[in-house]
Structure formats: C-alpha cells, structure tokens
Structure 1
Amino acid sequence: MEIREPKPDEAERIREVVDSSMTTSFRLSPQQIDGITDDQFGDDAVAEKIDDEDALLHVVETGEEIEGTVIAGFVEGRLADEWGEVNWLFVDPEHRGRGIGTELYETATESLRDRGADHVCVTVLEANTEGHQFVERFGLEHDGDRRIDVAGESLVKYVYTDSNIDVDLPTESRADAEDAEDAAADEFPETETTDGHLTATTDDGETVYIARDEEESGTAASFFVTYEDEDQTEQYGFYCANCGSLDVSMNNMDRLECGDCGNSHAERSGESYDDSYI
C-alpha cells in the first residue's frame, strides 16, 4: 500500500472510487451522487484542487497481481486559519477491510499538522451514517453543522473535532454553521439548534431531539423520528416538518398523521440503501 499525491490524469479513477463508495454507503439518490461527483471530482475540479496550495489530496495505491496498481482510496483536506480540515474520505468498497480508511485519515491529519495546522476537524455528510461512526473511533465529537451547496443541492455536513479542543472552528465553518441554522429554521419550523443537535420543545417544555437521518415521506412535508435524549436511544415520537408540530399519531397500519396541519405519511419510493462503510 502506497499513499501519495494524485496526478491530474487520475481524475477519472478518483471519480470512480467516489461514485462506488457513495453508491454503497450514502443515503443519497443516484442523481445526487452524480451531481456531487461531477461537481467536486470532475477533471477540471481535481486539477484545480491539485494546483491549490491550501488543498491536500492523497490517494492510496495498492498492488494487484494481474492489473498492476490501482487507486483504492482518496482523501481531501484543506488548511483554513490555524485549522486543518479533512473534507472527503472515500475507500473503494472492493478494497475495504484492509485499514485503508484509517491510513488515509492518519496520513491526512499528520500532513495537515506538518503544514502548520494547530487543530484538525473532519466533516462528514449527514447522509453518511457509517462515516460518523468511523470518525468517532478516533475520539472526535460532533461540534456543529455546515451547509454546503453542491450541483444545486443543499446538503448538511457534520463537523467533528477533538473533545478537548475549546477554540473557534475555522471561519468558513462558523459562517456555514450559522447558515445551516438559518436554513434549518426554514426547513424545520419551531426548532432550534442545541449543542449541535436539532431540537424541538414539547407542550410540557421538554426538549426532544430530531433525527434528520430518520425520515418518512409525507403528503405536505417529511416526518422525522424524535428522541428524548441526544444519544437517540429513547424514541419520543415524530416531528412534522410542514408545521413544526410534535402532535403526530401513528395508527396500527403505521400511517402517520399530523394533528395540527393534516400532513400524512406517503409510502416511500422503494429505493433501498446499504449502510456499510469503511
């Protein structure tokens, strides 16, 4: 296994790794995945990142007996203020289970510190549930949200930092976190952000935590599972994103209906996703 900087003519292979990794592990539609790969990892985008002095790009090259060498993983980072940020990390599903993700993460963070970063944070798309578990293995904790616009899609990334760090996030992260909170207020009425978690308040004044990755479709807007605790172990009920109500009932046929606005559950499209990750 060799970790090195990529070459401009390897953009197509990088894009293949990103596409296969996201298809396997992300709760995103094929159209969303295509938009991200084309926007962030097209030929011109990769070449621009390679020429960017503040960007850090590494690929993992593995030896194969028949095909010679192949790029099996990719990581992208960036210097921002005194921070180093790991923004993307992908491992080809066919090459997982070999410690490639760990090697990429450790190499990227070490390289960012060598370039002058005093602290390192990692961003993970909200739709990548297994990715959150991956970074938490290194002792990182969720420290805020970042909203990004990619190919016309507005997506949320979680920002992870070391638990013992008590300094401001990079300027971009702070600004994007504020934008994410503003956007959340529009998309999730009657909510607020509490310690990085989207929350709502019951009629009795209790705080409940909204799981944005546990969504059910509705005729007017989506429903989201709510929990009594921030670790999301004790379910409270459901939240209606159409009006912000927690007065959502479920009948014996698992049909949801909001008691305030009448929004009701509509069956999902039937698309399924694989949560497996690195």
Structure 2
Amino acid sequence: MEIREPKADEAARIREVVDSSMTTSFRLSPGQIDGITDDQFGDDSVDEKRDDEDTLLHVAESGEDIEGATITGFVEGRLEDGRGEVNWLFVDPEHRGQGIGTELYETATETLRDRGAEHVCVTVLEANTEGHQFVERFGLEHDGDRRIEVAGESLVKYVYTDSDVDVDLPAESNADSADDEDADSAEFPETETTDGQLTATSDDGKTVYVAREEEESGTAASFFVTYEDEDRAEQYGFYCANCGSLDVSMAEMDRLECSDCGNAHAERSEESYDDSHL
C-alpha cells in the first residue's frame, strides 16, 4: 500500500471510492450521496483542492487489483489559522480490514502538523454509522457539532478533538446559544418563548415544552425532547428543529424520524461497528 497525493486524472476513481463507501456506511439517501459526491469530489472540485496549498489530499493505492494498482482510500484535510482538520476519509468497502483507514488518518494528521498545525481535529458526518467509533479509537472525544451546507443539504458533523483541546465552533452549530426570542425563532421554527420556556403547539392544539438541553443529532437538524408540563414530569415526544414538527416517530434501535421533513437520527451501537472496517 502506498499513500500519496492524487494525480490530475484520478478524480473519477476518487468519486467511485466515496460513493461506494457512503452507500455502504452512511444513513443518507441515494440523492444525498450523489449530491455530496458531485459537489465535493467532482473534477473541478478535486482540481481546485489539489491547487489549494492549504488543502491536503491523499489517496491509498493498493496493488491487489487484477488490473494493477488501484485507489482504495481517500482522505482530505485542511490547514487554517494554525489548526488542522481532517474532514473526509473514505475506504473502498471491498478493501476494508487492511488498515487503510488508519494509515490514511495517521498520514494526514502527521502531514498537517508538519505544515504547522498546532492541533488537529476530525469531523465526521452524523450519518456516518461507522466513522465515529473509528475516530474514538485514536483517543479523540466528541467536542461539539457543526452544521454544514453541501449541495443544498444541511448536514450535521460531529467535531472530535483531543480531550485537552478547545475548538471554536460556529455559533450556529450550538442551538443552546439561542438566548432571546429572535434567536429562538431562527433556531427553533414554529415555537414561542413564554416566561423563559420554549414551547411548541401540536396539531390538536396542545402546548408542549421543548427541552433545549436534551438534544439528539439529526441528519438535517437536531431533535429535542418535549414534555407535556412545565415541570417536565411527563415526556410528550420529540421536536424536529429542521421544520418545527412534533410528528416525530421512534422505531427500532432508537431511530428518530420526522414524518414531515424526513430528518432522521439513529442511535449508534458498538455492536454495529467492527474495528477492521477502516
């Protein structure tokens, strides 16, 4: 296995790796995967990133393919204001279990530090069902969430850092920072603030209380626990911060899904992850 920078004519193979990896391991629709792949890894995007001195691109090349060497993994990072970030890492599902992901991660973080990064964080899409525990294997801790816009989609990324490192997250990624009525209306659609309590109204006219500190991440926006009473003695259900709906269902594996907009969250379990995957 060789870790190297990609060549100008290898964008198509990178997209294949990204598409197959996301199809296998991400809770995203085919349309969302196509949008991310085209937006982030199209020919023009890869060329721009290759020419950007602050962006790091590495591929893993294996000689196992019957036609010769082939790209089996890809990592992207960026250096900005003395901080390094690994923001995409993919391994072809057909080549997992060979330590490719680990080699890409370690090479990327070492390269970013060599280029001047004082510390390196890693961001993982909430919808990546296997990437979170892969990152945690390196001693990183979930430090906060960041919302990104990709191909018209609003997605949530988890930020992982060393335990002794503080990362400045964009203000809009922290819903709890909304401390006035204008901010509440922007972060929590279809709600009102009454006597300091954030409330929403169900379709049958019932007032429920939204617990901003009880949050579950979603693919489009967070979910928040709701209560039938101000004292929060009886739980009502969940509130979707993407569209303001209270019509949120919970299925097996603690999967939340908004019936109105499709925003979803599935609780990860250690049983769903195998250390050999990446």
Fold shared, TM-score > 0.5 on shorter chain: yes
Partner of 1:146: 146
Instruction: Judge conservation of contact 2:26–2:128 (CA < 8 Å) in 1.
Output: yes
Matches within 5 A, 1:83-94: 83-94=83-94
Instruction: Please state how far the C-alpha of 1:205 moved relative to its aligned partner.
Output: 11
Distance 1:206 1:17, change over 3 A: closer
Instruction: Please state how far the C-alpha of 1:188 moved relative to its aligned partner.
Output: 8.8
Partner of 2:231: none
Distance 1:162 1:142, change over 3 A: same
State the secondary structure of the residue aligned to 1:8.
coil
Distance across 1 between alignment mates of 2:88 and 2:190: 27
State the secondary structure of the residue aligned to 1:103.
helix
Question: Which digits, 9 at most, give the CA deviation of each residue in 1:165-216, with x for residues without a partner?
Answer: 24x43xxx4356359966982369589xxxxxxxx9xx9998863323499x
Instruction: Please state how far the C-alpha of 1:68 moved relative to its aligned partner.
Output: 0.7
Instruction: Judge conservation of contact 2:216–2:222 (CA < 8 Å) in 1.
Output: no
- How many residues are paired up? 233
Question: Which structure ranks higher in relative contact order (CA pairs < 8 Å, sequence separation ≥ 6)?
Answer: 1
Instruction: Please state how far the C-alpha of 1:265 moved relative to its aligned partner.
Output: 6.1
Distance across 1 between alignment mates of 2:28 and 2:175: 22
What one-letter code is carried by the residue in structure 2 that aligns with 1:83?
R
Partner of 2:173: 177
Partner of 1:197: none
Partner of 1:210: 215
Partner of 2:134: 134
Partner of 1:16: 16
Distance across 2 between alignment mates of 1:52 and 1:210: 37
Distance 1:37 1:175, change over 3 A: same
Instruction: Judge conservation of contact 1:190–1:244 (CA < 8 Å) in 2.
Output: no
Instruction: Judge conservation of contact 1:60–1:73 (CA < 8 Å) in 2.
Output: yes
Distance 1:150 1:207, change over 3 A: closer
TM-score by length of 1: 0.70
Distance across 1 between alignment mates of 2:52 and 2:188: 35
Structure 2: runs of 5 or more not aligned:
178-182, 194-198, 200-207, 227-234, 253-257, 263-271
Partner of 1:258: none
Distance across 1 between alignment mates of 2:135 and 2:191: 30
Distance across 2 between alignment mates of 1:223 and 1:87: 20
Distance 1:190 1:23, change over 3 A: farther
Matches within 5 A, 1:235-254: 238-241=237-240
TM-score by length of 2: 0.70
RMSD (Å), alpha carbons:
3.9
1:186 aligned to which of 168, 188, 196: 188
Distance across 2 between alignment mates of 1:30 and 1:17: 15
Matches within 5 A, 1:1-278: 1-64=1-64, 66-166=66-166, 168-169=167-168, 173-174=169-170, 177=173, 185-186=187-188, 209-213=214-218, 238-241=237-240, 278=278
Distance 1:33 1:213, change over 3 A: same
Distance across 1 between alignment mates of 2:149 and 2:73: 24
State the secondary structure of the residue aligned to 1:129.
coil
What one-letter code is carried by the residue in structure 2 that aligns with 1:239?
F
Structure 1: runs of 5 or more not aligned:
192-199, 216-221, 228-235, 255-263, 269-274
State the secondary structure of the residue aligned to 2:28.
coil
Instruction: Judge conservation of contact 1:148–1:176 (CA < 8 Å) in 2.
Output: no
Distance 1:35 1:115, change over 3 A: same
Question: Which digits, 9 at most, give the CA deviation of each residue in 1:10-53, with x for residues without a partner?
Answer: 00000000000000011110000000000000001001100000
Distance across 2 between alignment mates of 1:43 and 1:180: 39
Instruction: Judge conservation of contact 1:36–1:150 (CA < 8 Å) in 2.
Output: yes
Instruction: Judge conservation of contact 2:210–2:225 (CA < 8 Å) in 1.
Output: no
State the secondary structure of the residue aligned to 2:170.
helix
Instruction: Judge conservation of contact 2:6–2:59 (CA < 8 Å) in 1.
Output: yes
Distance across 2 between alignment mates of 1:47 and 1:26: 25
